[in-house]
Structure 1
C-alpha cells in the first residue's frame, strides 16, 4: 500500500492511501478530532464515490475493528502464532529526541535493547531505507519500522528519547 501524508495547516493532516487494487482512500484528520474518509475508484479519480465523517470516538472504534481488535481473521491467527512475541512498531522521531543526528551504529540499538530497525522513511525527502545499515542517521520526523519483543520495544523508546545517554 502506498501512503502519502500531507500537513494541512490550521486543519490537521491528510493521508492518501492507494490500495493494491488501485482504489484510493483519503483520510483527513482534523485538529478537533473529526475524521473525514473519502473513497475513490482509482488513484487518479477526481470525484469521490463516497464520504463519511466520524467523530473521535467513532474513528477509534472503526480503527479497532479494522485493526483486528474485535475480530481476527483465521489466517492472521496462524501468522500471529508463528510470530509469537514479535511485534512490529512504527515510531515517529521527534525533532527534540536525543537520537536525532545519530547513526544506528552510534545508538547501538540491537546490542542495547535487542530490536531491529527494518525500515527508515525520511519525512523531508521521502527517502526509504529498507534494512538500514549502522551508518544511517536518524533524522527529525523520520518514521522507523522496528521489530522486537514488547519489553525490547520499551527499551527502544528510551533510546529514541535519550539517544546515547
Structure 2
C-alpha cells in the first residue's frame, strides 16, 4: 500500500492511500477531531464515489474494528505463529534524536540491538530505500521500518534516540 501524508494548514492532515487492489482512499483528519473519508473510482482517480464523516469517538471505534482489536480472522493466527516473536515497527526520526546525521553502520544497529532496518523512507523526497546498507545516513523526519523481537526493538529505540550504546 502506498501512503502520502500532507499537512493542511488550518485544517489538519490529509492521508492518501493507494491500496494493492487499486482503490484510492483519502482521509482528512481535522484539528477538531472530525475525520472525512473519501473513496475514489478505480478508473477515474478524480471522481469520488463516496464520502463519510466520523467524529473522534466513531473514528477510534472504526480503527479498532479494522485493526482487528475486536475480531482476528483465523488465517492471521497461522501467520503470527510463523512470525513468532518477530515484530515490524515504524519509527519517525525526530530532529533531536542523536542518530540523526549518522550512518546505519556507525550506529552498529544490528550488532548492538539485534534489530534490522529493513527500509528507510525519506519524508520530503519520498525516496524509499529497501534493505539499506551501512552507508545510509539517518535523517530527521525520515521513517525507519525495523524488524526484530520486542526486546530488540526496545534496544533499537534507545540507539535511535541516544546514538551508539
State TM-score, norm by structure 2.
0.93
Q: Distance in 2 between matches of 1:33 and 1:151?
A: 34
What are the residue-to-residue correspondences of 1:1-165 with 2, within 5 Å? 1-42=1-42, 44-164=44-164
Seen in structure 2, the aligned counterparts of structure 1 residues 43 and 37 have a Cα distance that, compared at 3 Å, is farther
* Contact 1:38–1:52 (Cα < 8 Å) also in 2: yes
Q: Which runs of 5+ in 1 are unaligned?
A: none
Instruction: Tell me how many residue pairs correspond in the alignment.
Output: 165
Q: SS at the partner of 2:48?
A: coil
1:151 offset after TM fit, Å?
1.3
Give the alignment's Cα RMSD to 1 decimal. Answer: 1.5
Q: Which stretch of structure 1 is more off in the superposition, 98-107 or 152-161?
A: 152-161
Aligned counterparts of 1:94 and 1:43: Cα–Cα separation in 2: 38
**Distance of 2:31 and 2:100 partners within structure 1:** 26
Inter-partner Cα distance in structure 2 for 1:2 and 1:54: 23
Q: Is the 8 A contact 1:15 1:27 kept in 2?
A: yes
Q: Deviations over 1:50-87 (max 9, x none)?
A: 11122222222211211111111121110001101111
Structure 2: segments with no counterpart, 5+ residues: none
Give how far 1:124 is off: 1.6
Detail structure 1 runs of 4+ shifted over 6 Å in the superposition: none
* Structure 2 Cα separation of the partners of residues 31 and 154 of structure 1: 31
